[in-house]
Amino acid sequence: MNQNILLAITASVGLVAGAGGTYLATSEPKVEALSKVELVAAISADPSLCPIPTVEAPTEAEATAAYRKAHAASPLVWDRNDLPEISVALGQCDKAGSGPGVACMTSVKMSPEAQPIDRIVSFAKSASGEWIATIN
């Protein structure tokens, strides 16, 4: 065969292969969107598809005991024989920003008749497994 014909055939095959490769490289993949119903059904069937981060937090009884203990240890308490009847209601808890444990929004009442005080209190577990409160 003529050398010019072979060169033309080789160039044509290279051009077609290059154009096909460019098309495959630049074409967008088809993405099938799930409807909200399908998504909810999939997550309900397998909850591990949407992991929810959980934070270990004290119960209200544990939080109250830890807060009472921290309050009693405070150097601002001058009469340890007449400690207030503290109650703590827990709100939202999240991983503590600095240090171990969790920081929780609490509503603290110093007596049953007192107005609640909303404040953030940090809680961490001691080596013995007891919750310790840090009052800021």
Does 43 share its domain with 66? no
Whether 54 is covered by a domain: the verdict is no
Q: Is 95 inside a domain boundary?
A: yes
Label residue 102 exposed, middle or buried (CB < 10 Å: 0-12, 13-18, 19+): buried
pTM of the model: 0.59
pLDDT in tens, the chain (136 residues): 567 676 667 767 666 666 666 766 676 777 777 788 887 888 788 877 777 767 889 999 999 999 989 988 887 777 777 778 889 999 999 888 877 899 999 999 988 898 999 999 999 999 999 999 988 7
Q: In total, how many domains does the chain have?
A: 2
Tell me how many degrees the CA angle 34-35-41 measures, rounded to the nearest 5: 90
| Domain with 41 in it | 3-49
Do residue 78 and residue 122 come from a single domain? yes
Q: Are residues 65 and 122 in the same domain?
A: yes
Question: Are residue 79 and residue 108 in the same domain, yes or no?
Answer: yes
The one-letter code for the residue type at 57 is A
Residues 125 and 83 placed together within one structural domain of the fold? yes
